[in-house]
Chains A and B, each alone.
Chain A
Amino acid sequence: MKGIRLRKAKNLMMTILMGAATITVLVPLALIFIHIVRMGLSSITLDFFTQIPKPTGETGGGMANGIAGSALMIGLASAIGLPIGVFGALYLTEYGGSRISNLIRFSADILSGVPSIITGMVAYTLLVVPMKGFSALAGAVALAFIMIPIVLRTTEEQLKMVPGTLREASLALGVPMWRTSLKVTLRSATKGVMTGVLLAIARIAGETAPLLFTALGNQFWSKRLTEPMAALPLQIFNFAIAPYEDWHKLAWAGALVLVVIMFTLSLSARYFGRSRQGS
């Protein structure tokens, strides 16, 4: 064969290029990760979890109000988003005609591609303007907008995997459709649904843009849901762009906490996903 050497050389070159691409991709990501861990570990203190931010010029302080605010808003967003996502998915798999289902699916896919800052603007016009003030509630609604399509699509995937024979068996025993859906179909997909929920929570836990003009952020503790509320990602943003070395340290500590939360959520999502496959 003529040219076999050339062909092999080309093969080798492309192999090396693909390997090089992989290394080029992994190196900056690894650098970022290592840097966050190193800076975070050197900046984090117990105060970080118990104190609120100190006024400009004073050292120390923490992000306790941000952590609490994030947790509260994530909880609220889940309370709004989970039922819509899960029941919507039940409609798609248990009832929907193919055309309507495709329309809903398509809207969910498009919705998940809407930039998160736009969801913030919409929550602003829907809640902040009529209520005449930035509020934790508006922040939670903006986060729910982001969460709903993720929960819907992952739940639907899981429900689709429940064998039809299981539903038929239940229906044949005279169990009404709604009980079958909730107690048989949804129940046997619980672990998979949990995976989707955890991934959705991981996604909104780090969202900053939708909170900028809904929850706004707060230097202090918030007492009501109708007040501006601090959130961990917002505080990281504000402290990162401030010109104080001390605030940068707090931002790094916040970043580490956020990354640990994200990874814990992703890994437990994976755990749920895997144990479902195993059983």
Chain B
Amino acid sequence: MAESEQPQKWKIEKGMNGDFIFKGVTVIFAFTILAILLLMVYEMVRESLPSIRKFGWGFITGRDWDAVQGSFASLPYIWGSVVSSILALLLATPLSVGTALFITELAPKKVGGVIASLVELLAAIPSVIYGLWGVLVMAPWLQSTVQPFLIEHLGFLPLFQGAPYGVSMLAAVFILMIMVVPIITSIAKEVLLAVPQSQKEAAIALGATRWEMIRMAVLPYGKSGILGAVILGLGRAIGETMAVTMVIGNTPQISLSLLSPAYTMPSVIANEFAETTSKLHASALMEIGLILLAVTLIINTLARLLLWGVTRKQKGGSAA
């Protein structure tokens, strides 16, 4: 007996050794993710330093971008990014929430399921393909049909002045809207599905119409989650590179007109970073990247906190 226990014990110890190594490996890989994030921030800050030192706050408030003179400031790019993303979100939000409500509350289960999978499939189409369609199909259509119409009928507004170029802020807003709608819709759908059935039934039992049920029971419950979905969409829109670069016209100017070409932060990086003329030029682009990173980090943190709140509430609800 004593002899047969000996190898048994040895085996267990060997197993413990394996456990130690295994745990070590998983710990290292798990912390690699944290390390990558920190490394990204560190690299972006380090590479931006020459530009930050040289231009200070003027980098954000100035308009001059001249690689030959070596003077760089980024306001036109920030303007382009902010305006295009926010307008796209303004258009996309009601559409997405309406669609999500249609899928979860109105459509028969099967129809809703089909629409939901279609939307999810379309969210998977890469941005370069949206850009291809945008530059070869949508922009010419805007130039020949939509923009002349806007100039003729709404041309008295500063928003719609100038010549119809096709590639423009308007084109970027449209393409961004088309791209973020599937993202917001699918997250908002998840949020709405988490609304407890009892809340809806209570509203119906009190004699509410379907819309009143949505307004009184569904939307208040899903409010923060939907906000999270919209903010997540904003993060995507601000960081979106390829499709916007292909349709916005890449002209660094601040214009109120939606018909004039503009430029965004990711676009200028995409167009110039591979062929920088000087160290300072590269550093200025890095600083634009750093601003972009900072903005998306804040946006995503906010969105995650809102969405985590919803899922936690959901878990608490099912446990109670």
Most chain A beta carbons < 10 A, residue from B21, B96, B130, B131: B131
Q: In the bound complex, do residue B26 and residue A125 qualify as a contact, i.e. CB atoms below 8 Å apart?
A: no
Q: CB-defined interface of A250-279 with B at 8 Å, one 1/0 digit per residue?
A: 011001001100110010001000000000
- Determine chain B's interface SS by DSSP, over half rule: helix
A54 interface hit (Cβ, 8 Å): no
B306 interface hit (Cβ, 8 Å): no
Q: In the bound complex, do residue B131 and residue A237 qualify as a contact, i.e. CB atoms below 8 Å apart?
A: yes
Minimum CB–CB distance for A187 against chain B, Å: 15
Query: In the assembly, what is the distance between CA of A35 and CA of B135, in Å?
Result: 13
Most chain A beta carbons < 10 A, residue from B128, B209, B286: B128
Query: In the assembly, what is the distance between CA of A175 and CA of B12, in Å?
Result: 9
Q: In the bound complex, do residue B182 and residue A29 qualify as a contact, i.e. CB atoms below 8 Å apart?
A: yes
Q: In the bound complex, do residue B127 and residue A208 qualify as a contact, i.e. CB atoms below 8 Å apart?
A: yes
Q: In the bound complex, do residue B136 and residue A240 qualify as a contact, i.e. CB atoms below 8 Å apart?
A: yes
Minimum CB–CB distance for A218 against chain B, Å: 13
Q: In the bound complex, do residue B95 and residue A32 qualify as a contact, i.e. CB atoms below 8 Å apart?
A: no
Query: In the assembly, what is the distance between CA of A68 and CA of B9, in Å?
Result: 52
A44 interface hit (Cβ, 8 Å): no
Q: What residues of chain B lie closer than 8 Å to A8, measured between beta carbons? A: 209
Minimum CB–CB distance for B54 against chain A, Å: 19
Query: In the assembly, what is the distance between CA of A122 and CA of B39, in Å?
Result: 8
Q: What residues of chain A lie closer than 8 Å to B71, measured between beta carbons? A: none
Q: In the bound complex, do residue B246 and residue A179 qualify as a contact, i.e. CB atoms below 8 Å apart?
A: no
Q: What residues of chain A lie closer than 8 Å to B18, measured between beta carbons? A: 176, 178-179
B239 interface hit (Cβ, 8 Å): yes
B118 interface hit (Cβ, 8 Å): yes
Query: In the assembly, what is the distance between CA of A124 and CA of B44, in Å?
Result: 11
Residues facing A in B24-58 (CB within 8 A) are: 25-27, 29-34, 36-37, 39-40, 43-44, 47
B187 interface hit (Cβ, 8 Å): no
A103 interface hit (Cβ, 8 Å): yes
Across the interface, B266 reaches (CB within 8 A) one of A152, A209, A216, namely A209
Across the interface, A91 reaches (CB within 8 A) one of B26, B40, B103, B236, namely B26
Count, chain A residues at interface, CB 8 A: 89
Minimum CB–CB distance for B27 against chain A, Å: 6
Query: In the assembly, what is the distance between CA of A29 and CA of B185, in Å?
Result: 13
Q: CB-defined interface of A114-145 with B at 8 Å, one 1/0 digit per residue?
A: 11111101101110000000100000000001
Q: Assuming the A-B contacts A18-B106, A110-B297, are A145 and B115 also in contact, with contact meaning beta carbons closer than 8 angstroms in the complex? A: no
Q: In the bound complex, do residue A95 and residue B27 qualify as a contact, i.e. CB atoms below 8 Å apart?
A: yes
A61 interface hit (Cβ, 8 Å): no
Q: In the bound complex, do residue A21 and residue B95 qualify as a contact, i.e. CB atoms below 8 Å apart?
A: yes
Query: In the assembly, what is the distance between CA of A178 and CA of B132, in Å?
Result: 48
Across the interface, A36 reaches (CB within 8 A) one of B129, B238, B297, namely B129
Residues facing B in A161-201 (CB within 8 A) are: 174-179, 181-182
Q: Assuming the A-B contacts A107-B34, A107-B37, A125-B47, are A212 and B270 also in contact, with contact meaning beta carbons closer than 8 angstroms in the complex? A: yes
Q: In the bound complex, do residue B212 and residue A148 qualify as a contact, i.e. CB atoms below 8 Å apart?
A: no
Q: CB-defined interface of A71-104 with B at 8 Å, one 1/0 digit per residue?
A: 0000000000001100110111011100000011
Q: What residues of chain A lie closer than 8 Å to B211, measured between beta carbons? A: 10-11, 14-15
Residue of B nearest to A108 (CB): B33
Q: In the bound complex, do residue B301 and residue A110 qualify as a contact, i.e. CB atoms below 8 Å apart?
A: yes
Q: What residues of chain A lie closer than 8 Å to B22, measured between beta carbons? A: 177-178, 181-182
- Considering the complex of A and B, which 6 residue pairs feature the smallest CB-CB distances, nearest first? A206-B126, A115-B239, A21-B98, A176-B15, A178-B22, A113-B300
User: 5 interchain pairs (CB within 8 A)?
Assistant: A15-B210, A21-B102, A113-B296, A178-B23, A209-B241
